[in-house]
Chain A
């Protein structure tokens, strides 16, 4: 067994464990041991604000993705097979388009001279173009679009496993469709909700290109702090400390979630 998995273990060791170890080492060692980088991450305003903003945006994106994704997954689950394949492909198709291209596409839609503003002006609904992008709003819209499949797919997978008999049993006992949904379907779909929310939230924490291009420079998420520390301030140690804190937050989230559902489920194994 060990002989079979050892090549994979070596790859993981070389590509994940060593670089992450080196990263962590850089954050505490610079001409001697120092916790200075971590002191700055936890005390300086700039860092706090970025972490707070990143968690806020991730939370908003997760909630919106859930509100949009749940009905889509529900619909895909309740229509005949052919239709559900169509719905799911529409969800998954954008997956194969580069994130950069999608960010620019949102710019073309949302900016001052963009499609949406021009259309609203043509209809005379607005006199001045709305500020739809180069702010947090634009960032959230585009991020939701990119992460939606990570919400819909686990939800759909969970809903598929809910036996239809249970709903029929509820109906035969006299419950209305909305009552069977609330009392039977919704609770049984909660593991999918948790799995989808975890995926979207965690992926959103590390988003980079989208806030960079659509945030107008003000929406500084944690990943941007990392890149600025390297590019602008040449502070490799500080960048590593930020990255380590982000990594630990993600691991902590996974740990908490694993107390409620199996991690295999979040990662789409079952």
Chain B
């Protein structure tokens, strides 16, 4: 990615020293995602076809956690990025803090056609993943845990457990374990969630912090069940580990596209966002990686075969079994307070 970024910087410099007419002729944006296999997959599925169709150049950059960079770039008054693919909460929080552009959906018809819960004034869902209950098929050859209540039931399902060291999805899982229905979670009853978490805390062997770590725990048999991202579990299973997961009571999460406030190529960025959530481009994504399209219309194209669709987190039949994370709640004052409370919960 460094080469591409340097190329992007080079273009910016050329533009600055007076080759503006050339820059006008070739519209461009700088697009930022999270790198790795995921960014490669979206390059093939979405970015390259979009660039070709719109006749623009898409310079790419990647960063695992875009938030600090968004904050410093916009704070400095001269952002160099245009569009970021980042967890939806960053777009919302950024929007409220004046770091993210408000989107005009009349210019983004593909996004306007998506369900309202899949977009916000600042962002549009780009792809879905899910925090699911995964388990070792060696430990549980039959009667595997199938709900968060089972995860909490250490008598019926003895074994070592891991959860993510982060309140996102973990509080939701605790409430579902306590009997709250997936569609009745928000606003989260934070006290109740932490109380339920105290119950399982002594039985948690590892609080993982990175996706790679969660995959390693499952692969090495270090834990018998854990909350993990569906794509990580399926990758481990493909490599031959005897692991599986259920979408039942999964927590459906998304990354979204949003535009930095004062982005250098605002108009092109909006054109790009509309193209990037086009159903056909979106349907291409799961052909390359185990994440679901952000635009549900992708399932109506004939690109995704039914057996493939059935494996994806945002496929409608899978989606109804799950809870849709409310990023609006998480970026509200109550959500931020719950996030802060996590640190003291972990250190007690």
Contacts and interface: CB of A to CB of B under 8 A. Distances in A.
Contacts of B93: 234
B165 A217 contact: yes
A107 B216 contact: yes
A177 to B, nearest CB: 48
Contacts of B347: 45-46, 49-50, 218, 220
A230 B68 contact: yes
A106 to B, nearest CB: 13
Given A46-B347, A111-B220, A218-B346, A231 B205 contact: no
B203 interface: no
A216 B68 contact: no
Nearest to B163: A217
Contacts of B213: 213
B209 A212 contact: yes
Interface string B54-84: 0000000000010110010000000000000
A231 B65 contact: yes
Contacts of A111: 220, 222
A134 B339 contact: no
B68 A233 contact: no
Interface string B202-242: 00011111000100100011100000000000000000000
Interface string A117-150: 0000000000000010010000000000000000
B71 A217 contact: no
B343 interface: yes
A37 to B, nearest CB: 14
A35 B265 CA distance: 39
B71 A236 contact: yes
A1 interface: no
Interface in A4-58: 44-46, 49-50
A234 B165 contact: no
Nearest to B97: A234
A134 B217 CA distance: 11
Contact of B222 (A112, A212, A218, A228): A112
A45 B347 CA distance: 9
Given A46-B344, A49-B347, A217-B346, A232 B205 contact: no
Contacts of B216: 107
Contacts of A107: 216, 220
Interface residues on B, range: 20 to 34
A153 to B, nearest CB: 32
B221 A113 contact: yes
A217 B221 CA distance: 18
A118 to B, nearest CB: 11
B342 interface: yes
Interface residues on A, range: 20 to 34
B166 A232 contact: yes
B340 interface: yes
B342 A232 contact: yes
Interface string B307-348: 000000000000000000000000000001001101110110
Interface in A188-247: 212-213, 216-218, 220, 228, 230-234, 236
Interface string A56-90: 00000000000000000000000000000000000
A112 B68 contact: no
A219 B339 CA distance: 19
Nearest to B208: A217
Contacts of B340: 233
Given A232-B342, A234-B71, A134 B221 contact: no
A231 B346 CA distance: 16
A232 B338 CA distance: 11
Contact of A216 (B166, B207, B344): B207
A190 B216 CA distance: 44
A228 B65 contact: no
B221 A231 contact: no
A155 to B, nearest CB: 35
A29 B197 CA distance: 36
Contacts of B220: 107, 111, 113
Contacts of A112: 160, 221-222
B74 to A, nearest CB: 13
A53 to B, nearest CB: 9
A213 B213 CA distance: 8
A46 B348 CA distance: 8
A234 B67 contact: yes
A44 B344 CA distance: 9
A217 B346 CA distance: 8
A232 B87 CA distance: 12
A219 to B, nearest CB: 10
List the 4 closest pairs (A to B, CB-CB), nearest first: A217-B207, A217-B165, A216-B206, A113-B221
Interface of B: 65, 67-68, 71, 93, 160, 165-166, 205-209, 213, 216, 220-222, 336, 339-340, 342-344, 346-347
Given A217-B346, A233-B340, 7 more contacts: A46-B343, A107-B216, A107-B220, A212-B209, A213-B213, A216-B207, A217-B206
29 contacts: A44-B344, A45-B344, A46-B347, A50-B347, A107-B216, A107-B220, A111-B220, A112-B160, A113-B220, A131-B205, A213-B213, A216-B205, A216-B206, A216-B207, A217-B206, A217-B207, A217-B208, A217-B209, A228-B343, A230-B68, A231-B67, A232-B166, A232-B342, A232-B343, A233-B340, A234-B71, A234-B93, A236-B68, A236-B71
